[in-house]
Amino acid sequence: MERRNDWYEHPEYYEAIFGTDTEREVDFLLALSAKHGTGGKQWLEPACGAGRLVAAAAARGLKVAGYDISETMLAHARERLTPAQRRRVKLRASRMESFAEPSLEGRVDLAHNLVSTFRYLDSEAAAVEHLSGTRKLLRPEGIYVLGFHLSEYERTTPEHERWVGRVGRDSVVCNTHEGLPDRRLRRSPMRNRLRVTGPGKDWLIETTWFFRTYDGAQAQRLFRASGMRVLATYDFDYRIDEPLGRGSPRLDRVFVLQPAPDAALPRRPSRRAKR
């Protein structure tokens, strides 16, 4: 067995596991845009990865700007676009903490970030920078659809999920472990193992990192500090007619955010709030 250690260096296997809901996600985003936002055509995907959603949105006639920290993921994204899609797409290398694009200011109808990627931002300051930077790019009625898993600090056992997929003749098994969330450090240890087997191939791709943690109240405080208001909340079932009620116990959350009309400039988080 050959060991490797970064699943984002292997976008095809990443997508065999996490790219199976793409069309349903685009349907849901379009429905959210019509229901809560402008319904307009300019989309933005922070941390767009290998571009599965970028390509699917461009195929529906939308104009898409995307950025990611990983050149490998971006190369894969560029390669997959048809010439017609390429004319509607702009991709570049950048970070969620600092992305700025003057030509997009006040022009984005919908930004989205669905699969807990936001939790890579490892401090309150970085999360505020990202949200307030994205707010600047949105139209006043535009929306930012942010999906991530809330943490339960009382949890006493790690969480485990297992998926299987295929790429050509290779089979892929993915096991993800989220360790116990640390309320003081505001982080959870994550470990992802992809086992890829096929003709002449037996790879174990293991990636470990920390995700920042949020409970419901911490998420709400962050949104307020970033000048965003929550218009509605859904879960990862993506059912447009079934928003979550206030106080829902569901931990998988899709927040529909909009620039708060009277938002003062975002406060820098206090020292106390930094963790």
Binding site for ligand SAM (CB under 6 A): 8, 47-49, 52-53, 68-70, 73, 95-97, 114-115, 117, 120
Cβ at position 125, least distance to ligand SAM in Å: 13
Contacts of 191 (CB under 8 A, 6+ apart): 176, 177, 179, 206, 207, 208
- Give the nearest distance from C-beta 39 to ligand SAM in angstroms: 22
DSSP 267: P
62: closest CA among 29, 89, 27?
Answer: 89
Instruction: Copy the structure tokens of residue 12.
Output: 């095809």
Q: Closer to ligand SAM by CB, 19 or 229: give it.
A: 19
Q: Closest distance between ligand SAM and the C-beta of residue 44, in Å?
A: 11
Residue 115 or residue 263: which is nearer to ligand SAM going by CB? 115
Cβ–Cβ contacts within 10 Å for residue 69, how many?
A: 16
Please report how close the Cβ of residue 226 comes to ligand SAM at its closest, in angstroms.
16
| C-beta closer to ligand SAM: residue 49 or 181 | 49
The two beta strands, 108-113 and 42-46, are parallel
> Measured from the CB atom, is 12 or 141 closer to ligand SAM?
12
Residues 6+ apart with CB under 8 A from 21: 238
| Closer residue to ligand SAM in complex, CB, 55/196 | 55
Question: Mapping DSSP to helix (H, G, I), strand (E, B) and coil, where does residue 131 land?
Answer: helix
Amino acid 178 reads: E
Closest CB 49 distance from ligand SAM, rounded Å? 2
